[in-house]
Amino acid sequence: MASLHPYLNFNDTCEAAFNLYRSVFGGEFTTIMRFKDVPGENPPPPEDADKIMHVALPVGNNGTLMGSDRPGHMGKTISGDSVAISVNAESEEEARQLFEGLSAGGSVTMPLGKQFWGALFGMLTDKYGIHWMVNYDYK
């Protein structure tokens, strides 16, 4: 079966965002590369050298959250609300921890609460502009 691995782009905040995600989800980065690490004859401009070219953080049993900073020549990312990352927790406690960690410094769109469809569910935008949905399905 195929698996999904969300890839996020940032305007110079990828490292800070992924440090937050690592603190929330746990684990260690499997990859973290900067633009200055790219071999070859065309080094990045000095303003892009220390930006994150690629980072990968395993989440859960078979997911990976990945990201990068957008290099200057590509222009700034445009934040939109047409995509959100949905995270399914294994317990009510984990859902609360995830929601609190991801919403710190961000904004809550829908408070985490028990829903009529039998779940604990909430929505938020983290302080880096990424939209999240946190869910725990009651048994």
Residues 11 and 62 reside in one and the same domain: yes
Residues 65 and 15 reside in one and the same domain: yes
Longest CA pairwise span in the chain (Å): 59
Report DSSP state, residue 64: E
Mean pLDDT of the chain: 94
Number of structural domains, the chain? 2
Q: Quickly list H helices, the chain.
A: 14-25, 92-103
By the 10 Å C-beta count (0-12 exposed, 13-18 middle, 19+ buried), 21 is classed as buried
Examine residue 79 and state whether it is found in any structural domain, yes or no.
no
| Global pTM exceeds 0.85 | yes
Token reading at 17: 């965002």
Token reading at 54: 């690629």
Nearest 5°: the CA angle 61, 95, 90 is 40
Examine residue 1 and state whether it is found in any structural domain, yes or no.
no
Examine residue 45 and state whether it is found in any structural domain, yes or no.
yes
Examine residue 96 and state whether it is found in any structural domain, yes or no.
yes
Residues 19 and 68 reside in one and the same domain: yes
Query: For 72-122, what is each residue's pLDDT tens digit?
Result: 888 898 888 889 999 999 999 999 999 999 999 999 999 999 999 999 999
What CA–CA distance (Å, rounded) separates 108 from 95?
Answer: 14
For position 123, what pLDDT does the model report?
A: 98
Identify the domain containing residue 92 by its residue range.
85-137
